[in-house]
Structure 1
Amino acid sequence: MKHSQVLKLCVIAILSFCSSCVSRKDTTYFYEPDELNIPAQISMEQPAKSFITIQPNDELTITVSAIEQEAAIPFNPPIVGSGSATGGDVRVGGTSQLQTYLVDSQGNIEFPVLGTIYVRGLTRVALAEKLKNMITDYVENPIVNVKLSNFQVSVLGAVRSPGTYTISNEYLTIPKALGLAGDMQIYGRRDNVLVMREENDKVTKAYLDLTDNSVIDSKYYYLKQNDVLYVELNDSQRQAGSLNPNSGLFISAASLMISLIVLFVR
């Protein structure tokens, strides 16, 4: 065999080793085959939206208001501030914020005037209604607002900016969480995204295929407080990570040796 043919075979082998074909399905969210021109019929009813319930260690911000605001004052915690102060209670710098109610390990909070209230398992709306009914004995037509203050999710793995993110509202989908983390890297597996959830003293795991339109029907599509979203590396990237860190140097040296051998055997 001629030396030029040997060289061509070496080049073809190297190119075949370094390249691979990736299908559109492996890199596309909510994949729809090209041959289907009919728009996918997707149900927009998401009952999972109402499933976010209060759990131990949650922090709640609760405010009570009424037409006669003075009557509601005893049901609101004092506003706390941070910064500098000069004399007495006069604050000249810093910021102020409402105090939060920490849900204890038994699922209770200590509320002004009303005392100990069991809140575990209630939704934000259900707790607001419960408090409203209890406060009605003291205040006429009270308005109660409840907010989950420590709604956080962690996005880890093959994303551009992994980390823990605090959410201003309780409706967070997986695509929005990925958006907060700068989206998934091209070498992340879209067909096997892990969601870990701690609820009712148990940790559950779910593996979701984001290339499938039906993923929006999963109860894990809407994330809950303290969920962990993990994006796994695809097979080729995982295998590359297992290689010797000096493999690039070895390949370069081998290529040089092949070139020298071909040159001298001419």
Structure 2
Amino acid sequence: MGNVATSEVHAAVDRAAAQLLDAAGPDGIVSRKDIRTKLLALEGKERELVDSLYRFVDRRDGKRSARMTRRDIDEALAYIRKELVDRFDLDNNGLSEDEVARMSELGKLAVSLARTLKDVTGNKGESIDQQLKTLASGGIYFDNCFGTESAVDVAFFQAEGTLSQVTPDTFRSALKLKDGPQEEIVRFEPAEQALQAIARTYWDDPDLEEDDKRTAAQARQLVDLMKTHLRDVHAVVLGRNDPELVGSNHPLYIVGLDSAGSLMGLKTYVIWT
């Protein structure tokens, strides 16, 4: 088994941290109840790493099981990257089997998830952006979500950057959005609802043609790929809901961060007349 790049291990830890943040309530605090609910929705190596990361962050606080904030998680991530991952890459050529064997349990879980994520890329070595671009070009549409009044095809979207998280401010900066009603962010939320709307393409039609069956499978594959390889995925709708002022087509971005910190995902539209 070949060496594992530390950047890939960082991405696995960042993905687990994003799951912790996604578990937080409206107050931005991750409670024990929040993490128990989140773990029920996860499986396999990702579940193990998220659980281990939560416990690690919790132990760093002098008051065990105190409320966990974004700052707590960010501080723990900085320590993990430096002390539990990078420090073991002695020759700066990726983590070898011997180096991994000396890592902490959390570090080993991060390496394991990194390898899993790399293994499931599929498509014979194609990069994630290539895979998303291919899958998004197959007649998949967005509908029955966010009050849209019509189905609209999705398209691949990418904006280069080195972001650490997706927030309204980092999104505005990455897309160089201007002030004004046309580019006003009117909806910003975790992307699960939007992704499920895409995954449900044709799913409730019992009389699918073969082409539609392939499209339905492709939609689910697209969503799975985004969930597996992108972190901090959000849905963002632009444009004030005023048809006379901005029209009825509102750009919808369903985007997360790749391992380098670039925005990547899908662009489509919601129709509000």
TM-score range, shorter chain: under 0.3
Quick check: which has more Rg, 1 or 2?
Answer: 1
Higher helix share: 2
TM-score, normalization: structure 1? 0.25
TM-score, normalization: structure 2? 0.25
Higher strand share: 1
